[in-house]
Amino acid sequence: MGQPHILILGPPGAGKGTQSGNIAEEYGIEHVTTGDALRGNKDMDISDMDTEYDTPRAYMEAGDLVPDAVVNAIVEEALSAADGFVLDGYPRNLEQAEELSGMTDIDVVLSLEVSREELVDRLSGRRVCDGCGANFHVEFDQPAEEGICDGCGGELEQREDDRPEAVENRLDVFDENTTPVIEQYQDHEGFVAIDGEQPPAEVWGAIDSAVRERANVSE
């Protein structure tokens, strides 16, 4: 078997980005994330895909899903260039899951579980560095100097979609569209549910052992 193919599922704010970064580093595989890919291309012209809006921006700022055709194309291209990968933020609905099953096989499916109440607290207090993308929290993970990134000195900002109305909408969109995807993957032999409310180091410990058990990775 080649490098592991890992899927990380869970609601916005569950810690998928952080833990995917750990996985990519530990196993030397690609971190493929549709959220970051779209944030870097918010104003790309998608009008030829017969979409309601001409760019991803309007969908993203409201916390709605960007149309499948756009996201499927991003993932297809990224996966064709990767040997092993951790896929973060996709699939988010059953149509995308169907599309993914035609692109590649998956060895491990991690489902990060966090209560809605905790997610609202995490997302509404999150601040992101405009330089390196590092995440902080106004209460749970404060930088040494308010508003400034500890890592690169960049400015910390609130993501447009971490504002209260967008947060509630994103969680509703998750419940409606992505919960059925997780239910479907529960039958996958590599599926494992992870308690995402533990401290990040413990979440990582649970993920690392789950991946070692299920994927054929070298020590």
Region binding ligand AMP by CB under 6 A among candidate stretches 21-29, 57-65, 114-122, 126-134: 57-65
Please identify which of the residues 39, 42, 159, 163 carries the catalytic annotation. Answer: 159
Nearest to 37 by CA among 5, 67, 71: 71
Q: Which of 119, 161, 182, 204 binds ligand AMP (CB under 6 A)?
A: 161
Q: Tell me if 72 contacts ligand AMP by CB under 6 A.
A: no
CB 34 within 8 A of CB 75: yes
Cβ-based nearer residue to ligand AMP, 166 or 217: 166
39 is catalytic: no
CB 114 within 8 A of CB 197: yes
CB 27 within 8 A of CB 218: no
163 is catalytic: no
Nearest to 124 by CA among 163, 68, 165: 163
Pattern 75-114, ligand AMP, x by CB under 6 A: --------------xx-x---x------------------
Q: Which of 29, 38, 86, 123 binds ligand AMP (CB under 6 A)?
A: 38
Residue 112, token pair as written in the block: 């990060």
**Residues found near ligand AMP in the complex (CB under 6 A):** 12, 34-35, 38, 59-60, 63-66, 71, 89-90, 92, 96, 161, 170
